[in-house]
């Protein structure tokens, strides 16, 4: 075997490549030093067919022709991490066409010499290569390649575990920033901002009551006018993504913020259609249950001082209007146009008890309807009043004759009329007392409108559901902090 070359020549025996030559593809041949890493250096020596006592120096080079792809790579898993391309027989390198022709002419042999080899001959031809590999393994001595690879794998595993831990922390941090019930329930300020309820304790108590009004802890989703939302559907399907409390929380967020269904659905990672079904289900359910809980209920406890001078006072009435989308039908606009607002409106009659709790909400009426007309056509209100009861209202409720026929007395500020210049002292004091007490129904109505969904112009396509929405918002104000501090 030839001695290895040094300098700008390839050290592989039989390889005549030197600096400045090109490979078969016309690319310049690169020359590499032996690596300083001991294990990689041994790996190279085991592959290169050099003599046993060969020791590379700093000037020893190996050309790029002996690496897969014609280039060295420092990745241990890459095929070109070590030199692997050498002559298949007689330790001759891959040469150019000219050198091959010269070798063939020099070493030309008669064709009759090349006969079929036996299996024994092939094994004998393969022995030198196996012997060289065994010699390289013996030269490696006590070096443990398995341990080295194991340490490298352990290092990679530790790096991957560190990355997984960091990603889990990032995911946990991002989840903490999402609008979810568990993220804001301990912060009363945030909870009130998103739900209009004072804290999570009130929310939880209301949920516990509502659960008792269902057949189970889930509602039957709305699918038409005949749907009973308190029952469970008989059709089996996938388990619900949200709990009873989480669905109620989503509905409160919609009422408080007035966001589009698409926005709420994006926030809670559900489809728009699914949230619309949840919202419709809960609005109908809450409307029925809150009416049952509060409508025309009275309590003499915790009455403010301003109501104590009015014996048998049962309810304080006032009307409020919300802007309505203009209809293309003139007949419809006749009933919805309000001379007071100069706009198409929808009108509600709201009543509160002397302990400042909403206890009556009428059906939705067009803005043209008068206060008197709405009052006389609100059957739950008239049926809830008994003989001897007292009703407080503004001057617009000219229903004293109709209520007196039922044995109910109405109290309102006095009319001055055109004949007189001013009120008497008695009339002025009485009107001040009534106004001082009646102002609280306007404060309650203002609280109802803090549900920002009511601030928007009512769309005609949601008018069928809007009456229930207003009822729910009105009765939910009973769970807020009192209007008058004790």
Sequence ranges of the domains in the chain = 31-109+120-143, 144-177, 181-292, 295-479
Q: Thinking of the domain 295-479, which architecture would CATH place it in?
A: 2-Layer Sandwich (3.30)
Indicate whether 231 pLDDT > 90. Answer: no
Contact 348, 361 (CB under 8 A): yes
Angle between helices 463-476 and 272-294 (to 10 degrees): 50
Global pTM? Answer: 0.65
User: Could you give the percent of the chain with pLDDT greater than 70?
Assistant: 81
User: Torsion over CA of 247, 252, 255 and 260, rounded to 10 degrees?
Assistant: -40
Token pair for 165: 């831990």
pLDDT at 373: 94
In tens, the pLDDT along 152-183 reads 888 888 889 989 988 988 888 787 778 899 99
Read off the pLDDT of each residue in 292-311 and give the average, rounded to a whole number: 85
Read off the pLDDT of each residue in 263-290 and give the average, rounded to a whole number: 94
Residue 25: closest CA among 70, 87, 73: 70
Give bridge partners of residue 61 from the DSSP assignment.
10, 33
Contact 128, 87 (CB under 8 A): no
**Lowest-pLDDT choice from 189-203, 295-309, 369-383:** 295-309
Indicate whether 99 pLDDT > 90. Answer: no
Indicate whether 278 pLDDT > 90. Answer: yes
pLDDT at 7: 54
**Coarse DSSP helix, strand, coil percentages of the chain, rounded to the nearest 5 percent:** 50, 10, 40
Q: Where are the alpha helices (DSSP H) in 329-370?
A: 330-336
């Amino acid at each position: 075997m030839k001695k290895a070359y040094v300098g700008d020549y390839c050290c592989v025996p039989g390889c005549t490549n030197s600096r400045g030559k090109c490979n078969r593809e016309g690319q310049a041949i690169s020359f590499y030093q032996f690596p300083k890493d001991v294990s990689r250096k041994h790996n190279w020596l085991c592959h290169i067919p050099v003599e046993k006592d060969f020791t590379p120096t700093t000037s020893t080079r190996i050309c790029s022709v002996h690496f897969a792809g014609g280039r060295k790579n420092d990745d241990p898993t890459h095929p070109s991490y070590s030199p692997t391309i050498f002559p298949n027989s007689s330790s001759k390198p891959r040469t150019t066409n000219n050198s091959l022709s010269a070798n063939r002419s020099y070493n030309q042999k008669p064709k009759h010499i090349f006969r079929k080899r036996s299996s024994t001959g092939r094994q004998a031809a393969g022995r030198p290569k196996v012997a060289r590999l065994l010699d390289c393994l013996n030269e490696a001595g006590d070096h443990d390649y398995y341990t080295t690879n194991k340490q490298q794998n352990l290092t990679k595993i530790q790096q991957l575990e560190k990355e997984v831990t960091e990603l889990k922390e990032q995911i946990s941090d991002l989840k903490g920033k999402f609008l979810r019930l568990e993220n804001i329930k301990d912060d009363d300020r945030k909870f009130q901002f998103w739900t209009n309820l004072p804290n999570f304790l009130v929310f939880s108590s209301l949920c516990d009551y509502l659960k008792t009004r269902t057949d189970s802890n889930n509602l039957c989703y709305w699918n038409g006018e005949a749907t009973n939302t308190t029952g469970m559907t008989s059709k089996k399907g996938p388990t619900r993504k949200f709990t009873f409390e989480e669905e109620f929380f989503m509905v409160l967020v919609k009422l408080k913020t007035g966001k589009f269904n698409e926005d709420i659905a994006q926030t809670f990672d559900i489809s728009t259609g699914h949230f619309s079904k949840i919202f419709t289900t809960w609005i109908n359910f809450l409307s029925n249950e809150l009416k049952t809980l509060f409508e025309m209920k009275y309590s003499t406890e915790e009455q403010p001082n301003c109501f104590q001078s009015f014996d048998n006072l049962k309810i304080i009435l006032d009307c409020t209007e919300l802007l309505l989308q203009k209809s293309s039908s003139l007949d419809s606009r006749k009933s919805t146009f309000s001379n007071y607002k100069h706009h198409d409106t929808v009108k509600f009659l709201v009543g509160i008890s002397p302990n400042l709790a909403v206890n009556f909400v009428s059906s939705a009426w067009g803005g043209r309807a008068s206060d008197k007309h709405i009052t006389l056509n609100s059957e739950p209100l008239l049926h809830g009043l008994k003989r001897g009861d007292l009703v407080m209202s503004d001057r617009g409720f000219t229903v004293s004759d109709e209520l007196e026929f039922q044995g109910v007395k109405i109290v309102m500020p006095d009319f001055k009329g055109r004949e007189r210049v001013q009120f008497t002292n008695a009339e002025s004091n009485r009107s001040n007392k009534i106004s001082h007490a009646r102002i609280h129904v306007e404060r309650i109505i203002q609280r109802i409108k803090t549900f920002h969904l009511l601030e928007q112009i009512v769309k005609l396509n949601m008018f069928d559901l809007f009456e229930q929405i207003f009822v729910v918002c009105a009765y939910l104000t009973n769970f807020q902090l009192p209007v008058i501090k004790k």
